[in-house]
Structures are given as C-alpha cells and as structure tokens.
Chain A
Amino acid sequence: MSARLRFKRVLIANRGEIALRIQRACRQLGLETVAVYSEADAQSRHVLEADIALCIGPAAAARSYLDAAGIILAAKVTGASAIHPGYGFLSENADFAEAVEKAGITFIGPTPDSIRLMGDKITAKQTMQASGVPCVPGSDGPLPEDESAILELANSVGFPVIVKASGGGGGRGMRVVWAADELIKAVALTRKEAQQAFGNPTLYLERFMQKPRHIEIQVLCDTHGTALWLGARDCSLQRRHQKVLEEAPPPGIPPELIAEIGTRCAQACRNIGYRGAGTFEFLYEDGIFAFIEMNTRLQVEHPITEETTSIDIVCAQIEIAQGKPLNITQSAIQTSGHAIECRINAENPFTFAPSPGPISRWDLPGGAGIRMDTHIVAGSVVQPYYDSLIAKVIAHGATRKEAIQRLKVALDEMRVATIETNIPLHQELLSDPDFLKGGVDIHHLEHLLEKRKNPDDKASLSTDI
C-alpha cells in the first residue's frame, strides 16, 4: 500500500494487443484504466474490460488515436492523471508528451526533450558517440583532400566503404567502394556528382555493412539515477523493414560483447537523463556494433525480454512514472534461457495482402513456456483501418532449441478462421536451416521470399525490359 501515488487512473492512448497489455499491468498495480477508442474498436476487448471507456472519434486514426488534443481532453473529463501512449500513434511525439505534462498529466514515457533528441538522427548519433556508444565506423567528419590521407582513412575503417555526399539523401550521392584501388576514382566521381547535384562537394565515408544483423538493447531508467540494460534482442527477420520474428538473446554473439554495449547504452541514458523504457537499435556485422537509432518507447517485441529477464517492463514503466526507484541492480539481471516471438498478422502468408474481417474460430495454444499477447477473441472483427497485428506468440525455453520446439507446436495448435494469417510463414521460418543455425542477416527473409517466388532461381537472371 503506497501512501502517495502520482496517479491512480491511467488513460491508455492506444488500441489492440498493446492496449490490453497495458491495462493488465495497470490492474496488477491496483490502478484504474480509461480506454479511449475509435468507433471501429467499440467491441474491442480492452474497451469492454476498462473501468471507463470513452469513444473519442471515428475509425480514422487522425481523428481518434492521433487526436492529441482530444486525448488530453479525454483524460481531463475522465479524471485520468496519467497517459500511457503504448507504441506507434503518439508514443514518440515530443509535442504530445509536452502538452500532456503541461496539462498537469503524467506522461508514462521519457521527457519531451529526450524524445526530441533521439527523434533527430544526427543529434541522436552525436549524443551516442559522445557517450561512447559505437556508431558506424567512418570518417567522423568531411573527407580530406589529400589522396593518401583518404586511403589511410578508408583502410583504417575497413573495406568495403560507402562514400556519401554530406548534402545528399534519399539514396542519391553515394557510392560503395569494394577495394582500395577503386577508392580515389570513386571519391573524385562522387565529389563531382555531389557538387553538381547538391552544390556541396563535401563527402564523408563510412564502413559499408553488407549483411548486418539487427540487434537491439532494452534499457530501463528511473528518476533516481538508475539506468539498467536488460539484455539484447535479435530482430533480423524483417520484411520491408517490418520485424516478423524476434528472439532473445541474439544467437552466436558473445555475452561479454553484449554486456559491453549494454553498459555503454546505460551510461548514455544516465548522461542524457533518460527516463522510462527505451531501445537502442544497432546493426551488427563481423563483431562490430553500429548504433542506428533509439526508440523512446515500449517496443512490440518487449515480451521476449520480459521472458528472459523475468522483469515486467510495462509495470516498470508505470512505477517509474509514479516516481518510484527501480528496486533492482544491474548485477541481479540475468538472461535465463531463450525466448522467441512470432508476430501473427491478419494477412495472406504469400502475397501479404491484408485480410480483415470477422474471426469465427480462435483456438489458442498453451503449455509450458507459451505466452499469448492478443486482444482477439472468437467473434472479434479485424479492422481494415489499422496495423494487421492480431497476436504475438511467445515461446520461452531453457535453450534456443527448446524455445523453437515449443513455438512449432504452439503454431500447429493455433486454429484461426475465417481470416488469413501469416502462421504458415512462421512455420516455414522455424524449419529454415539458416534460421535454425542462427544469426541470419536483415536481408535473409527477403531473399527467402524471393526464392519462394522463383523456386528455380532463374527468373531473377532473365532480362526483363
């Protein structure tokens, strides 16, 4: 029984599985919930189960889940004194976070300044470099004029390198250089192009990562100076930059290396006064970590970290927002076993066309090590207006092999009608020899899908006009 709480009623500014996930955490902490929803989600499970439910607009997200002013007013009229933004929608909108706090409501997330700092890729990278978080190795500034100096720099970075125009963007004004003997010619050419295209001949150079993996570090920081890192996740299986399957810990990366990066991430958080949960995203190749960006919010794949560390990240977010200290030390955080999450989407497993509509059958798996995060019940209708994520199947095992085995059985047990889901794709992935070996790169799934389309692998060689 805590005598003084900053808030007793939390407004959940989101929908779907994450809204239900947050509601559960609030309930476990003895807090009341307010569900704000669009007309399309009136029958959604978290809405029906909320202490107070308020329809705030029509299906279009711009007039409901993205209506920042409306959501703050909704908190006022329902007496909610905290807002949890979930992921997506307004979760990384610094102006929203600021408006929430100005209205005297607690924002369950980082400060608006942190969100802003990390929202800009340049300031984010500079901040991380200053804190000793490794970024893509490169020239760290404009390329010199002197040819031998350029060559020396490229050699120290390591080939292949990518030469980029400082004023460039959108994939223009850049050239990959595979070997030292091509470098000087390539720099001259890119410099000329950069001058012509952007009126600025300034170039810089970075190591070109060809087959990187996507590795990310979860952090949790309270307002009393404690910043913890909760292990790493491997989210390399992606299609069109959308994560499909994630696992923790990343297979094949030495734990000491992850610990070193994690320690630096936690230090960076202390340096910027970060508050709440966050994720540092990295590209990883040949033993090198390179920071890409920081997500200043809860991530879809947070459950695999919860399973391997036994820390409830959403409850921790709420307790931090209440002003409580994290009652755990870094040395007490251990990674136990292996966890894998499959994102179940309402879509055709081959064409990826969305498959909205009513769900008439929804048989869920169970058993040791299986967790289901979903807002769907039999009779639910998958709305066409939003993201197609309908469930996350999370398997935890003592070993990676056991987690895979449990996940396979779980997916086989799932019965969903009459919408289509990507369960068959996950089943295929869980039997893919490269995935079973572990450590595939971020292009692996796209290559696999390409191969599936052209099984003889000749079509891609044919000359199309």
Chain B
Amino acid sequence: MTKPLSLPIFENLPNAEEIVQISQWLNEAGLNSLELSNAHGTRFRICVETAKNPAESSLQQNIVATQQVSTDISITAPYFGHLLLCNPVTMETFAPIGSSVCKGAIVAILQIEDLTLPVTASDNGTIVQILAKDGDLVGYGQPILKIQSQ
C-alpha cells in the first residue's frame, strides 16, 4: 500500500529562535503542543510546559461547594478510534482514577490514523472508573470512563 502523502519533508527545521516564537503562538492560542508528521513516519513536535492553572483548581473547589447530589456518568467515545488514556507528549495519564475533572476537560484521546480527537468530560466530577484499556479500538458511543459528579 503506497501512501501518497510525503509532506512535510522536514528538510528545513525551525531554529531555536523560531521555536521560541512558535511556542509563544501556541501559548497565546491556548494550545500545549504542535505536531507534524508525514507518511514516512517522520515526526516533528513542539510542546509547551504549562504551569498548573490556578484558576482551574479554584473552580473545582467552587463546584464541590455548590453541588451536593452525586451521580455516576459515563463518558462515551465521540467517534471511533484507538484509545489513548495518556498524553502522547507528556506520557501523563489524562484522568487517573480519583482525579477531578471539569466539564470540557480532555480525559482521553482517540487516534484514528493520522487524526486525533479529544474525549472530553461531559460534566464536572471525579473519575471513579476506567472502562476501556489504553490502545483499545473503541466504537462510537462506547463508555470509556465513569465520573461521579458532585
């Protein structure tokens, strides 16, 4: 099977100055990494180390304070693909059991060939169960994690 895509060719990689500029742009755009890859398997990746966002943790405390009823909610796959429970850049688990997540936070990634699609929390809560294994091929709508909303 021949893949038609051989771009980018990675002949000219950015220099140190340009990398600083790119990481600034990433920061401004609220992104933490950029990755380019071609069909030959060559990958170029820039990631930005982000400091813990203080606003996020105070938000979580607010939620604990205002919501009392707790229910288990399944987070389901928004499409199909291979499940990545760890950030491929930092190798950190997105949402380990016991961690708190906010609505919209990335809890896993679906890898579909060259595409990646985030799986996001549908509500604020605590991860109580992981229902699928890292690397599994999951289908649309398949439950991946269970969160207990608080």
B142 CB contacts on chain A under 8 angstroms: 55
A58, A64, A77: which contacts B137 (Cβ < 8 A)? A77
Q: Knowing A73-B115, A74-B80 touch, does A55 contact B140 (C-beta < 8 A)?
A: yes
Nearest-Cβ distance from residue A32 to partner chain B, whole angstroms: 15
Which B residue sits closest to A79, measured CB to CB?
A: B137
Q: Is the CB of A77 within 8 A of B112?
A: yes
Would you give the 0/1 interface string for B117-150, flagging 1 where the beta carbon is closer than 8 Å to chain A? Answer: 0000000000000000000010111100000000
Q: Is the CB of B139 within 8 A of A104?
A: no
Q: Is the CB of A78 within 8 A of B1?
A: no
Bound-complex Cα distance A54 to B82 (A): 11
Question: Does A76 sit within 8 A of B, measured CB to CB?
Answer: yes
Question: Does B113 sit within 8 A of A, measured CB to CB?
Answer: yes
Bound-complex Cα distance A74 to B2 (A): 18
Q: Is the CB of A104 within 8 A of B80?
A: no
Q: Is the CB of B139 within 8 A of A56?
A: yes
B79 CB contacts on chain A under 8 angstroms: 56-57, 70
A53, A58, A73: which contacts B113 (Cβ < 8 A)? A73
Near B by CB (< 8 A), chain A positions 38-79 give 39, 53-58, 64, 70, 73-74, 76-78
Q: Knowing A39-B141, A55-B140 touch, does A77 contact B80 (C-beta < 8 A)?
A: yes
Nearest-Cβ distance from residue B81 to partner chain A, whole angstroms: 6
Of B4, B81, B82, B139, most A-chain CB atoms within 10 Å = B139
A70 CB contacts on chain B under 8 angstroms: 79-80
Nearest-Cβ distance from residue A277 to partner chain B, whole angstroms: 25
For chains A and B in complex, what number of residue pairs have CB atoms within 8 angstroms?
Answer: 41
Q: Knowing A74-B80, A76-B113 touch, does A54 contact B137 (C-beta < 8 A)?
A: yes
B4, B81, B82, B140: which contacts A57 (Cβ < 8 A)? B140
Question: Does A102 sit within 8 A of B, measured CB to CB?
Answer: yes
Bound-complex Cα distance A77 to B114 (A): 10
Would you give the 0/1 interface string for B3-22, flagging 1 where the beta carbon is closer than 8 Å to chain A? Answer: 11000000000000000000
Q: Is the CB of B113 within 8 A of A77?
A: yes
Which A residue sits closest to B77, measured CB to CB?
A: A55
Instruction: Please give the residue numbers on chain A whose beta carbons come within 8 Å of chain B beta carbons, in ascending order.
Output: 39, 53-58, 64, 70, 73-74, 76-78, 81, 102, 104
List 5 contacting pairs A-B, 8 Å CB cutoff, sorted by A.
A39-B141, A57-B79, A73-B113, A78-B137, A81-B1
Q: Please give 14 more A-B residue pairs, beta carbons under 8 A apart, in addition to A56-B139, A56-B140.
A: A53-B139, A54-B137, A55-B139, A55-B140, A55-B142, A57-B79, A58-B140, A58-B141, A70-B80, A73-B113, A76-B113, A77-B82, A77-B113, A78-B137
